[in-house]
Chain A
């Protein structure tokens, strides 16, 4: 329970998510399922809703939805069917959408999300498939709209949760986790800016006043272009509903759910539809499509191919490999990168060094190139070797970074590069001692300062260290330099 003035309240959020599936072709016709092409270039008589056309189900889309449903531990329907959802709108070529109504593909699942270091279970009410509508474009037009049908008929997976989320943070965490999940499963790129994942939170509050509990009317929020917007929108709604309740005392009734749009510029939700009328969609089973009875053998096969889920993998990487919560995403968020990491471990990489290298220079290079670490042209075995070289003291961290850069440019083993470029770290104490002696001899003022105290001492010590490193062309083992310098200074 939270407090606001003399009210105590609880936030209640349920989510409705539409995820665009990354199949080659559309849900019911062979048109390419692509974003960004010339308007109305990926169309055919079927997705145009021409007279006489018929839908043909995309099996891959069903497989992707099944995969997701299994990852969400849903019950898979033994019998599922397609239904027509009838309504008129210019973005709907047939004026009905092929969707699923009362017998969806999957129901009653769960997803775990990280909340304050723990895992919270969010219940999934249902998951089903449907076709997307076309895109309406109003820009630059007066009293007219253009229709781009490239998106019409593309496959969508709709997921509905129970109202188990209790804050804007949890809503954000849910959105983030679901996005990771579908990327892990390879069923969607879930890029919100491209509309590949659309989140609609349904928000209301349970308010306690004078010992009585009241529920505010539910608001469904649309038009969220990012997880950040989702968070802000839920926060805004909570405050708005508190204010509204204080003012009017209005409570949740049958039919007073409203639809609000998020206005990014104003940072506010705006009323779009009062009294969400029970739209009569006149659902009935689509007579053009056969019902689907997923075979148990197929379900088990898809289930057996499920990867470790990102939420669990992240936790394991933190516990087993020592990643911090902050850094673990760099390696785990992309499934192929996490796989690469584990392959490098299997090839003998020492874990701490490998982890450090992943979150430092490998991540940096990957970001520069705009790809995940797994797409860098360096195989796991070589990454393992480089990490091992640092652990064994063959090279130091700085040198390793330089070697990594070369490894990206040429198809060569790091060991070979180190030897060729004379980058092998010098750990021979007597050699380093010679350099230390030279530096100390050449910098009497610094030596004097380094034997004093405070800032002056630190600065001088750093200077002398730098000089030794420079003389060794960066190859001296910094630990040994440090030890020897300290010894020599103490005794001087």
Chain B
């Protein structure tokens, strides 16, 4: 049996029924990573011994008649900006290249409490800053569909791991599209939950008011399975929503035979008029929407009038927050310290200059500028106000519709090296995903076809705050009628 073709739901079910052992599943996963990751470069570190030990422990518990949890024995890959105690968490940066956190992130604790087995940490754009994973300081991840193309970013490693079926699921983080866009580029599913749905405790902060951890998977059911394990209030995260404000629903409910009859799907007119929107993308997304209509939904044109300001707004807020969040990487108490500094200022500036990559430096400088005296009102404060307007755009739209559909990106994945010299062009490609982070709403990316060149295209489904259930239901209904999500790159069957 080719275990790499199983979904997480299937793996978990077969381990529970003792048809498979956790040990053999983990061994298979580790062997596959060993064999194929040289080509893909999804992983920065693989937890060989620990994963094997955990798998044995899970098997022991199962043998004793215990229930180790709803994800017992499931191999999971985790983006390397999520803290794993005692195991390198590098954020793909030289400044944390050897850093081992003294604690586990909230989501890691939850995964392990559910019985999952973390097999390794995946590559990303350094400190999650980027859309191609080319900004990683520790290596390049390749798109499993075309190895000379980017997997997207910043969670390129997590997306590629699932696309190549090295694991069936993984965790990433999304600040401006960093789960949804690589999911689209790699032909897998990716969900950014509502801000506050999943704990940020242990997620190395980039844009604090925008960051969310979310799952990658090959189908919507698996997305819901992972989300169920990681969602929920965490006292250690003051931005994590308490149950009194929003209870954690059963994300798996209503996904089998998903019914979306009468559901209203909004199509923002500003999104479809974009100059850079690739014709093939537009076509594939159009077809997907037809399928959704055929399932009983109706489409409504909506307007999100402040769309054009979203990218600028995001890059002011995210970089401002990042400039402050990354100040702690100073060579003083952990991470890289420059050898032989001449004084304190030298210690600070050389450690950071030597160990941060260019994109990180660019964003820190931009963010510092935006917050500085004389510019705060014109940039940062103004961006906060524009953010409110963008949020209100969505509130108004969701008064008329239940979900909003759009492309994930204007184009499919580009070649490695193609956009490195034009950061601004890179920023502009976030146009469809970025508003969801600003508005704090949930967004799901599902595969909806391939370009003529054989590169995946993603459909984005956005929903109201805390309405992941409806978003997932639309995704499930779509996947019940189509099989784009079952397409695999050749390497996935290797």
| Interface set, chain A 274-305, CB cutoff 8 A to B | 278, 280, 282-284, 287-290
Q: Are B238 and A96 touching (Cβ within 8 A)?
A: no
Give the distance in Å from the alpha carbon of A57 to the alpha carbon of B239 in the complex.
12
With an 8 Å Cβ cutoff, the count of chain B residues facing the other chain is 43
Give the distance in Å from the alpha carbon of A45 to the alpha carbon of B101 in the complex.
9
Q: Are A88 and B89 touching (Cβ within 8 A)?
A: no
- From DSSP, what is the main secondary structure of chain B's interface residues? loop
Q: Are A50 and B103 touching (Cβ within 8 A)?
A: yes
Closest Cβ neighbor of A89 among chain B residues: B344
Give the distance in Å from the alpha carbon of A461 to the alpha carbon of B201 in the complex.
85
- Which segment of B40-48, B161-169, B366-374 sits at the interface? B366-374
Provide the residues of chain B in CB contact with A46, threshold 8 Å: 236
Q: Are A278 and B373 touching (Cβ within 8 A)?
A: yes
Provide the residues of chain A in CB contact with B330, threshold 8 Å: 88, 95
| Interface set, chain B 323-338, CB cutoff 8 A to A | 323-324, 327-330, 332-334
A51 within 8 A of B: yes
A93 touching B328 in the complex, CB below 8 Å, given contacts A51-B89, A287-B321: yes
| Count of inter-chain pairs, beta carbons less than 8 A | 95
Give the distance in Å from the alpha carbon of A52 to the alpha carbon of B329 in the complex.
12
Distance in angstroms from A86 CB to nearest chain B CB is 6
Provide the residues of chain A in CB contact with B101, threshold 8 Å: 45, 50-52
Q: Are A49 and B333 touching (Cβ within 8 A)?
A: yes
B200 within 8 A of A: yes
Provide the residues of chain A in CB contact with B204, threshold 8 Å: 51-52
A51 touching B208 in the complex, CB below 8 Å, given contacts A57-B238, A93-B333: no
Contact of B201 among A49, A54, A289, A290 (CB under 8 A): A54
What 1/0 mask marks residues of chain A from 360 to 374 whose CB sits below 8 Å from any chain B CB?
Answer: 000000000000000
What 1/0 mask marks residues of chain B from 365 to 401 whose CB sits below 8 Å from any chain A CB?
Answer: 0001001110010001000000000000000000000
B308 within 8 A of A: no
What 1/0 mask marks residues of chain A from 73 to 107 whose CB sits below 8 Å from any chain B CB?
Answer: 00000000000101010100111100000000000
What 1/0 mask marks residues of chain A from 209 to 229 whose CB sits below 8 Å from any chain B CB?
Answer: 000000000000000000000
B288 within 8 A of A: no
| Interface set, chain A 34-73, CB cutoff 8 A to B | 45-46, 48-57
B99 within 8 A of A: yes
A52 touching B105 in the complex, CB below 8 Å, given contacts A93-B333, A290-B239: yes
A90 touching B332 in the complex, CB below 8 Å, given contacts A55-B238, A290-B238: yes
Q: Are A94 and B239 touching (Cβ within 8 A)?
A: no
Give the distance in Å from the alpha carbon of A54 to the alpha carbon of B321 in the complex.
14
Contact of B209 among A55, A88, A93, A287 (CB under 8 A): A287
Provide the residues of chain A in CB contact with B320, threshold 8 Å: 284
B198 within 8 A of A: no
Provide the residues of chain B in CB contact with A45, threshold 8 Å: 101-103
Provide the residues of chain B in CB contact with A56, threshold 8 Å: 235-236, 238
Distance in angstroms from B369 CB to nearest chain A CB is 10
Give the distance in Å from the alpha carbon of A407 to the alpha carbon of B322 in the complex.
66
B237 within 8 A of A: yes
Provide the residues of chain A in CB contact with B91, threshold 8 Å: 51
B447 within 8 A of A: no
Distance in angstroms from A53 CB to nearest chain B CB is 7
Provide the residues of chain A in CB contact with B372, threshold 8 Å: 280, 282
B205 within 8 A of A: yes
B74 within 8 A of A: no
Give the distance in Å from the alpha carbon of A452 to the alpha carbon of B236 in the complex.
88
B255 within 8 A of A: no
What 1/0 mask marks residues of chain B from 208 to 227 whose CB sits below 8 Å from any chain A CB?
Answer: 11000000000000000000
Closest Cβ neighbor of B201 among chain A residues: A54
Q: Are A84 and B324 touching (Cβ within 8 A)?
A: yes
Give the distance in Å from the alpha carbon of A33 to the alpha carbon of B169 in the complex.
42
| Interface set, chain B 141-168, CB cutoff 8 A to A | none
B348 within 8 A of A: yes
Distance in angstroms from B83 CB to nearest chain A CB is 5
Provide the residues of chain B in CB contact with A57, threshold 8 Å: 238
For A46, A56, A290, which residue has the most chain B Cβ atoms within 10 angstroms? A56
Q: Are A95 and B202 touching (Cβ within 8 A)?
A: no
Q: Are A288 and B239 touching (Cβ within 8 A)?
A: yes
What 1/0 mask marks residues of chain B from 110 to 128 whose CB sits below 8 Å from any chain A CB?
Answer: 0000000000000000000
What 1/0 mask marks residues of chain B from 43 to 78 whose CB sits below 8 Å from any chain A CB?
Answer: 000000000000000000000000000000000000
For A52, A93, A94, which residue has the most chain B Cβ atoms within 10 angstroms? A52
B188 within 8 A of A: no
Provide the residues of chain A in CB contact with B89, threshold 8 Å: 51-52
Pick 13 A–B contacts, CB within 8 A, sort by A.
A50-B102, A51-B83, A52-B101, A52-B201, A53-B201, A54-B236, A54-B237, A86-B323, A86-B327, A88-B348, A96-B324, A282-B323, A282-B376
The 3 closest A-B pairs by CB, nearest first: A95-B327, A282-B371, A287-B208
Given contacts A94-B328, A284-B376, 5 further A-B contacts (CB under 8 A): A51-B101, A54-B201, A57-B238, A95-B328, A147-B332
